[in-house]
Amino acid sequence: MSQPSPTNDRDHISINEARVLAQRAKQAQEKLAEFSQERIDAIVDAMANAAADAAEQLAVEAVDETGYGVTADKIKKNLFSARTIHGFIRNMKTVGVIRRFDERKVVEIAEPFGVVAAVVPSTNPTSTAIFKILIAVKARCAIVISPHPSAIGCITRTADLMANAGHAAGAPEGTVNCMKAVTLEGTRELMSHRDVAVILATGGMGLVRAAYSAGKPAYGVGPGNAPAYIESSADVRKAVRDIITGKTFDNGVLCSSENSVVVDEAIAEEVRLEFKAQHGYFLTIDEISAVSEVLVSPQRLPNPSVVGTTAIQIASKAGIKVPPETRVLLAQLEGVGRDYPLSIEKLCPVLSFYVVEDWHAACARCKEILRYGGMGHTMSIHSKNEDIILEFGLKKPAFRIVVNTPTTLGSIGMTTGLDPSMTLGCGGFGGNITSDNISPMHLLNIKRLAYGLAPANAPPELPVAERRLPQAPPLTTASTLDGDMLADRIDAFLATRTDPQGISSVTPRISTKKEPNATESVEFVCEDDVRRALQTGQTILVNSRTIITPAARDLGEENRIFVHAGLTR
């Protein structure tokens, strides 16, 4: 008897669809790669405008389909992707020559990575789809989206309207694609397909690990579990307001939303009172147990049925009566780890609450929290003490440490100067290839034209940009060299290093100081000065205080270029 197939009919359909869409995207990619910057920008503009126009409807569809979050906040996220992020990337050069470094004679040329496989989560479905489509096409990359099974409708709707807008503006057919028969096997097939060049994966750790094991370059983003530290010098009212704002934004479904509050003991009571004043509810020990059972599965994972719901809804499911105006639930804990279920990432308005002796203890506690599911992601500090703020920046295993602002909004660049993005790299701490906020630049390969600056047989020297004045030889007289004059001479030389033919465009400046028995000695000689003298058949008059680079000395003495003051040649 034959063995049953390891995949079912739905898997076969999904796998086949992944193959078809990857091949379709590859054909579009070959055309897209030849487009000019103007054509690409026109397409991206059209897609961004279409997404912005539909921001409200897409938000409604996302909440209706997934049951997660707040419609008004999803509208903000959709507009953040379609307007703020689009505005940030709009003037980026992503075609042809994107940078020149004239002093090093290096030219950088953008090359699209290729077809992007983009996995989009159910927690932020439409805003993430808008974001990934815009940055992919801006980088001249075709894209295939694998939507979360519980958000296929709203993600497909987003992809279709942006694809139509892009096509009307000149994008090739197949530039934007979205799977409709989604299974894990189909997503794996997409990520490992030979026509896919790079993966953008946002989701749970299992999915992120699958992305990294697909054999392709991948940007994977997992859980956040962000701690928020309120230090003794903080503006307590604002700090509490920022934390509640961040935790309730879209009911906490962003992976960078606050998950724990860490408070200095000296202000702990003030902070508690302020949370209560701003409609936070502190759970009793028994209530903590009840909420833990509702919120956390036996595998220590968030319960999907309460993700993105309100504090009132969570309390009701746990059998707890809370005031009707309650915005967040707070659970004071004594530790972090499996024995403290509410110390994990909580994608809803529930915060763990820790009291510590001082900022040193807070530092240790924040590290524990990040290690329990948020390494490399995000945290916040609320403080007026710049020294302590810097210490947290230096020592915390998080790559976005936002200061006096909500982690949720600060991390994505909505309330800070960080690059606006809906995909946040966690770097080496989180097992990611980058710690950046992802942008079109991460979907480009960079080619470099590098012109020769020195002959192959010349003695090694530092790169032009790193050359420094060598130490002067010991002075033989009590007189000193004019420092300002020498600095001017070197600055003038380096500022006009070479012309396009590699010939020095400056003439060694002649000293106005006069040595006994000699005049017009120069203060500084480099290799280019010697080469110019060779080309023009001249000599260079030096004295005991002239500074000569090693390469210049070797070349000059070999060709008898130097004439020493007081001596004949």
* Partner residues linked to 329 by β-bridges: 281, 350
CB of 142 closer than 8 Å to CB of 178: no
Concatenated DSSP letters for 174-221? TSEEE-SS--HHHHHHHHH-TTEEEEEEES-HHHHHHHHTSSS-EEEE
- 352 is written with which tokens? 């763990």
Q: Comparing C-alpha atoms, which of 152, 161, 180, 170 is closest to residue 10?
A: 180
Concatenated DSSP letters for 436-498? SBP-GGGGEEEEEEE---S-TTSPP---GGG--PPPPPPPSSS----HHHHHHHHHHHHHT--
Q: How far apart are CA 465 and CA 244, in angstroms?
A: 48
Using CA atoms, how far residue 124 sits from 119, 121, 192, 430, 451, in Å, is 12, 6, 24, 21, 46
Q: Comparing C-alpha atoms, which of 459, 468, 569, 460 is closest to residue 524?
A: 468
Q: How far apart are CA 62 and CA 82, in angstroms?
A: 16
Q: How far apart are CA 382 and CA 403, in angstroms?
A: 6
Q: Comparing C-alpha atoms, which of 242, 257, 228 is closest to residue 366?
A: 228
- 236 is written with which tokens? 């307590």
Q: Is 117 left (phi over 0), alpha (psi -120 to 50) or beta?
A: beta
Concatenated DSSP letters for 32-92? HTT--HHHHHHHHHHHHHHHHHTHHHHHHHHHHHH--S-HHHHHHHHHIIIIIIHHHHTT-
Q: Comparing C-alpha atoms, which of 113, 174, 101 is closest to residue 138?
A: 113
Q: How far apart are CA 186 and CA 117, in angstroms?
A: 12
Which long-range contacts does 446-451 make (Cβ < 8 Å, 24+ apart)? 446/98, 446/108, 446/109, 446/110, 446/111, 447/108, 447/109, 447/110, 447/111, 448/106, 448/107, 448/108, 448/109, 449/106, 449/107, 449/109, 450/104, 450/105, 450/106, 451/105, 451/106
Catalytic, 348? Answer no
Q: What is the dihedral of CA 173, 174, 179, 184, to 10 degrees?
A: 170
> Look-up: residue for tokens 């994966």?
201
Q: Give me the catalytic one of 141, 154, 178, 255.
A: 255
Which residues are designated catalytic?
A: 255
